[in-house]
Amino acid sequence: MDPIRSYFSYIDQAIRMNWTAPALSDYEGSLSYSYGQVAEQVVRFRHIFQEVGLSTGDHIAIVGRNAANWAIAYLAIAAYRGVAVTIMPDFAPDKITALLKHADCKALFVGPYVLPRLKPYLQDLSLKAVWPFEEIKPADTVQISPDDLHLPMDNQDDLALINYIDDDITIPKGVMLTHRAISSNVMFGQSSIPTGPDKHILSLLPLSQMLGFIFEFLYPLAGGAHIYFITKGLTHAQLIEAYQIVKPYMVVSIPHVVERIVHRTTDKDVKTVLRRILWHCPFVGLGRRRRAKQKLMEAFGGKLELLVIGTGKLDYKVEKRLAAMRFPYTCGHGIAECGPMISYEYPKQYRFGSVGKVVDRMEVHIDSPKPLSEPGEILVRGDNVMLGYYGNMNLTNAVLTDAGWMRTGDKGTMDRKGNLFLTGEHLERFVNKEL
């Protein structure tokens, strides 16, 4: 297997090859960065961090809804060899404050949705600087060259990110991920789902969760794609409109959202007993299924190449409908502690009802005497796995074994071909409850 390539080497290449091409844009606003302007912001913040007294290795938080400047903040921190601390913007301000203290944060990037609520608490924090998203803007003319960027690529085993996955401040779960874990996930995306400057993607899943962070931000950026960030909550109709405008080549989503879109787009095709009978007919049904597939493709913008569904089990009836239409979909599984990938499969090899096979540089073990038939806890180990939970050795020791396995808490089975099947309930979090 090829050695892990630093995700910053991909990004450096993408910046050099796409200097004037669009990179990061706020879908609802006018803010947009070219790849050259992204590079300039990274260089600019290198000097700003030095001026306010921040050192390499310092913890710098990002708290805000998805935005181009959320992405700028992460790239600036990581390029400076700092540690990014990501916290969900919907957490209560007192809990955000507690987590900022727990993570020993020295500075903060904060979005407009969070700042008004957090302002009364900022005096309780000993921060060297606070940068509101709205005060960060690209210059009209880029004054640097690609050679001024100097992205770090020799720090794979250094801590890159502390990701707080819930707001329980009594037992904080700050997932510690290295640059190696992030690079492994980005490299898997690049090798499995190639992207490029002619591709668009919609960043809808929270960037403060690893599925959105990797597959709607770092992986497409590393390939030269243009990323549009949804900066506020959308209704179902507004989401469909966004897909029509952006026309993404890939959609990464969770079961709940996919099920809603499939139902609202294709339920009429199987609404009555007669329609359900015709749907399954060998000849008449073929045309009906093709028309339903076309409607669903159009709902996703018309240029969809792949629908990736993760973080839980897809409803059986919905998946059966997708399979009958031969829709280009696949299911995978991941958790924050693996940054996030555990399993995935190419659509043509995907086994119905599964969440794919274990991804590159990872192992999966089912803790069951009969892993083919009796569900057991899913254990994982490999380059994607976290270092542990920040400042919580007891919890770290409870999930990481001496042999290097991590207990995921999820249960499943695995067939003889290596396809992983989830059993039981799986938590889905999503920033927009209206969808």
Do residues 356 and 265 share a domain?
yes
Do residues 349 and 265 share a domain?
yes
User: What is the C-alpha to C-alpha distance for residues 358 and 312, in angstroms, rounded to an integer?
Assistant: 15
Q: Does some domain include residue 431?
A: no
| Tally of CB atoms within 10 A around 104 | 14
Q: Is 158 helix (H, G, I), strand (E, B) or coil?
A: coil
Assign residue 302 a region (left: φ > 0; alpha: ψ between -120 and 50; beta: otherwise): left
Q: Does some domain include residue 13?
A: yes
Query: Is pLDDT above 70 for 426?
Result: no
Q: Which of 60-64, 191-195, 423-427 has the lowest mean pLDDT?
A: 423-427
Dump the DSSP string for 238-249: HHHHHHHHH--S
Residue 81 is predicted with a pLDDT of: 98
Residue 435 is predicted with a pLDDT of: 45
DSSP state of 2: P
The stretch 389-415 carries a mean pLDDT of: 95
Confidence of residue 431 (pLDDT cuts 50, 70, 90): very low
Residue 310 is predicted with a pLDDT of: 87
Interval 311-342: pLDDT, tens: 778 999 999 999 999 999 999 999 999 999 99
Residue 1 is predicted with a pLDDT of: 57
The stretch 365-381 carries a mean pLDDT of: 96
**Edge to edge, what strands does the sheet with 83-87 contain?**
129-132, 105-110, 59-63, 83-87, 159-164, 174-178, 388-389
- C-alpha dihedral sign at 418, 423, 427, 428: positive
Do residues 273 and 341 share a domain?
yes
Q: Does some domain include residue 228?
A: no
What is the percentage of the chain residues whose pLDDT exceeds 90? 90
Residue 432 is predicted with a pLDDT of: 42
Residue 299's Cα: distance from chain center in Å? 22
**Edge to edge, what strands does the sheet with 200-203 contain?**
32-34, 22-26, 226-229, 200-203
The stretch 263-277 carries a mean pLDDT of: 93
The residues, any chain, with a CB within 8 Å of residue 20's CB and separated by 6 or more, are 34, 35, 36
Q: Does some domain include residue 154?
A: yes
Do residues 39 and 169 share a domain?
yes
Do residues 23 and 156 share a domain?
yes
Do residues 242 and 167 share a domain?
no
Interval 162-194: pLDDT, tens: 999 888 889 999 999 999 999 999 999 999 998
Q: Does some domain include residue 70?
A: yes
Domain that holds residue 377: 236-388+406-423
Do residues 181 and 87 share a domain?
yes
The stretch 2-25 carries a mean pLDDT of: 95
Do residues 264 and 159 share a domain?
no
Interval 108-150: pLDDT, tens: 999 999 999 999 999 999 999 999 999 999 988 999 999 999 9
Q: Does some domain include residue 197?
A: no
CATH assignment of the domain containing 87? 3.40.50.12780
Do residues 12 and 109 share a domain?
yes
Do residues 255 and 345 share a domain?
yes
Residue 430 is predicted with a pLDDT of: 41
Q: Is 270 helix (H, G, I), strand (E, B) or coil?
A: helix
Query: Is pLDDT above 80 for 433?
Result: no
Do residues 252 and 161 share a domain?
no
Residue 425 is predicted with a pLDDT of: 52
Residue 429 is predicted with a pLDDT of: 40
Q: Is 13 helix (H, G, I), strand (E, B) or coil?
A: helix
Domain count, the chain: 2
Question: Mutual orientation of helices 93-102 and 115-122 as an angle, nearest 10°?
Answer: 60
Q: What does the block give as tokens for 298? A: 């159009």
Q: Does some domain include residue 195?
A: no
Do residues 169 and 258 share a domain?
no
Could you identify the residue written with the tokens 């403060």? 208
The stretch 243-270 carries a mean pLDDT of: 95
* Average confidence score pLDDT of the chain: 94
Q: Does some domain include residue 400?
A: no
